[in-house]
Amino acid sequence: MNAVSSFSTPRYGNGILRTARDAEYDVFSRVTRMLRHAAGGSHADLIQAVHKNNELWTILTSDLASDGNRLPDQLRAGLLSLAGFALRHGHRALSDGAELAPLIDINLAVMRGLRQEAAT
């Protein structure tokens, strides 16, 4: 996955070389923080956080479905399945008041996977 560059904020002058995986982790981290904040915040916070989460998963879905994606097919399929669930649940959170915990849990699992892959 390398589709989140549009979400990444440049960090000029820090002297650290960042990988695409680092950028993906950072984006998931920021969006997950927004979801956690929205869980106890205002309706406007909820709308903004779910919108960002849906935007992130939509971008990832596009990348995962592209011919140039080099992830193993089984991992791609699993992530596409998670994306579908995350998008549907995000819409339910906005329309029916569904809990944000499943979205937070999914994002945290992806973050753990990104860190685990980086360590190997």
Instruction: Output the pLDDT for position 18.
Output: 78
Query: How far apart are alpha carbons 92 and 107 in whole angstroms?
Result: 17
Half-sphere exposure of 17 (CA within 13 A, CB side): 0
Is residue 33 within 8 A of residue 107, CB to CB? The reply is no
pTM above 0.85, yes or no: no
Q: Which amino acid is at 67?
A: D
Query: How far apart are alpha carbons 70 and 55 in whole angstroms?
Result: 22
Instruction: Output the pLDDT for position 17.
Output: 75
120 residues of the chain, pLDDT tens digit each: 555 544 555 555 555 677 889 999 999 999 999 999 999 899 999 999 999 999 999 999 999 999 999 999 999 999 999 999 999 999 999 999 999 999 999 999 999 999 986 565
Instruction: Output the pLDDT for position 4.
Output: 56
Distance of CA 105 to the CA centre of its chain: 11
Look at phi and psi of residue 94 and say left if phi exceeds 0, alpha if psi is from -120 to 50, else beta: alpha
Instruction: Output the pLDDT for position 120.
Output: 58
